[in-house]
Amino acid sequence: MSALGTLEELPLSYRQSLTDLNLLPLWPSLRNFLPYEKPIRETAPVLWRYDDIRPLLLQAGELTPIEKAERRVLVLANPGLGLEKVRATPTIYLGLQLILPGETAPNHRHTPSAIRFAVEGAGAYTVVEGEKLPMERGDLILTPPKLWHEHGHEGTGPVIWLDALDLPLIHDIEASYCIDGATQTLANVPDSSQTSYRRAGLLPYAALDQQKRDFPLLRFPWSDVREALMAYAQGCGPVEPIRLAYINPETGAECLPTLGFSALMLRPSEEVALKRRSASAIFHIIEGGGDANVDGTELTWSEADTFAAPTHADIRIRNGSSKEPAFLFTVDDAPMQRRLGIYEEFSNVPDGV
Ligand code: 1HN
């Protein structure tokens, strides 16, 4: 490997001629674009504490009426990437959104894919394509690309949820835009997590001969996911990680084209070393407290905190309680990387060992 030539080695007049013609020599920056062995990662392993954010978000509720915000959100921005980049990882946008009793966030649809993960409060809902989806603590709600969605709050007290979007990618490829619409007409039935897809392993009979749908299930209630994790734990060996993926019940594939979702349970005092993966990820604490080590950075987490991990990171997560399990929700960009044919797992450190 010989050292590549630098920009400074080139005569000034030559460099100026290139600039005048909108040209650049590749070789001085080739290694930035194509480093050996591992990508250059600017994403910082960083933790956002809910207790820090919550009062500021409630203050935003007083400072900014919903009509002036459309969506009242504080963005969890990664300092390694630059706060102005508005991203938690290179591909994952994260924000905490506040809605107060009686407020509505108007109907729109857009090219980025989004999810909501309910953090605090009760009585709020999202409507996606006419389906009213209650948002109870820990529920995952999908708002897939280009589908109409709006939010409302019929309860008392503030409701806060975590938004995750593939906005960084869609914006960077200059494909991000939205369309506003009139309030949707509601289908007056419970959401499909309570009807057609009430139980894993069962589908409406007619679905067998119909074309598989991209987004048949839009709400994953936490009460079901928690129960599934507890049951799954009994079938897992002592070193296997208790981790369930959220999927499309008709195809078995990931829920959204770009982002993947999972729920991870840590037994009391358990420490999990995750496989090193090419995907970037965020972890949000549903229940419990503990610590994590992300590429050598120690993070101490408690309920409703969120932390980010860069691509190719070494990640260890430890439940700090010797009595209670801990539950984490994760978002990663593995589906996007799989579609691009670049997703990798490095099995030198197997999950759970
Ligand atoms: C959006 O549509 C929502 O619908 C929240 O609640 C956050 C951030 C960027 C772009 C669109 C929502 C968003 C967003």
Residue of 325, 218, 282 lying closest to 44 (CA atoms): 282
pLDDT at position 2: 75
pLDDT at position 213: 96
Q: How far is the CA of 105 from the centre of ligand 1 (A)?
A: 10
pLDDT at position 309: 99
Instruction: Count other C-beta atoms under 10 Å from residue 79's C-beta.
Output: 11
- Per cent of the chain over pLDDT 90 is 96
- Whether 150 contacts 126, CB under 8 Å: yes
- Per cent of the chain over pLDDT 70 is 98
pLDDT at position 314: 98
Q: Is the CB of 165 under 6 A from ligand 1?
A: yes
Could you tell me whether strands 149-153 and 124-128 are parallel, antiparallel, or unpaired per DSSP bridges?
Answer: antiparallel
Ligand 1 closest atom vs CA 95: 7
Q: Tokens 């260890």 map to which residue?
A: 316
- Whether 286 contacts 337, CB under 8 Å: no
- Whether 142 contacts 255, CB under 8 Å: yes
- How many residues make up the chain in this entry? 353
Q: Which CATH superfamily is domain 46-203+216-346 in?
A: Jelly Rolls (2.60.120.10)
- Whether 332 contacts 43, CB under 8 Å: no
DSSP 248-292: -TTT-SBSSSS-EEEEEEE-TT-EEEEPEESS-EEEEEEE--EEE
Q: Is the CB of 167 under 6 A from ligand 1?
A: yes
pLDDT at position 221: 98
pLDDT at position 222: 98
What does the pLDDT look like over 94-110, one tens digit per residue? 999 999 999 999 999 99
Q: How far is the CA of 169 from the centre of ligand 1 (A)?
A: 14
pLDDT at position 121: 98
pLDDT at position 1: 60
Token pair belonging to 271: 């420490």
Q: How far is the CA of 243 from the centre of ligand 1 (A)?
A: 28
What does the pLDDT look like over 124-161, one tens digit per residue? 999 999 999 999 999 999 999 999 999 999 999 999 99
Q: How far is the CA of 72 from the centre of ligand 1 (A)?
A: 9
SS3 336: helix
Q: Is the CB of 76 under 6 A from ligand 1?
A: no
What does the pLDDT look like over 234-275, one tens digit per residue? 999 888 899 999 999 999 999 999 999 999 999 999 999 999
Residue 350 binned pLDDT confidence (cut-offs 50, 70, 90): low
**What average pLDDT score do residues 305-314 get?**
98
Q: Phi/psi at 119 (nearest 5 deg)?
A: -110, -45
What does the pLDDT look like over 314-338, one tens digit per residue? 999 999 999 999 999 999 999 999 9
Residue ranges covered by each domain of the chain? 46-203+216-346
Q: How far is the CA of 167 from the centre of ligand 1 (A)?
A: 9
Residue 352 has pLDDT above 90, yes or no: no
Any bridge partners for residue 120, and if so which? 160
Question: Which residue is closest in CA terms to ligand 1's atom 1?
Answer: 71
Question: Which residue is closest in CA terms to ligand 1's atom 12?
Answer: 71
Residue 348 has pLDDT above 90, yes or no: no
Residue of 232, 301, 300, 298 lying closest to 267 (CA atoms): 232
Q: Which residues make Cβ contacts (< 8 Å) with residue 292, sequence separation at least 6? A: 283, 298, 299, 301, 307, 315, 316, 317, 318
pLDDT at position 178: 98
> Mean pLDDT across the chain, nearest whole number?
96
Token pair belonging to 194: 């309570």
- Whether 327 contacts 286, CB under 8 Å: yes
Residue of 169, 88, 155 lying closest to 118 (CA atoms): 155
pLDDT at position 238: 86
What does the pLDDT look like over 184-240, one tens digit per residue? 999 999 999 999 999 999 999 999 999 999 999 999 999 999 999 999 999 998 888
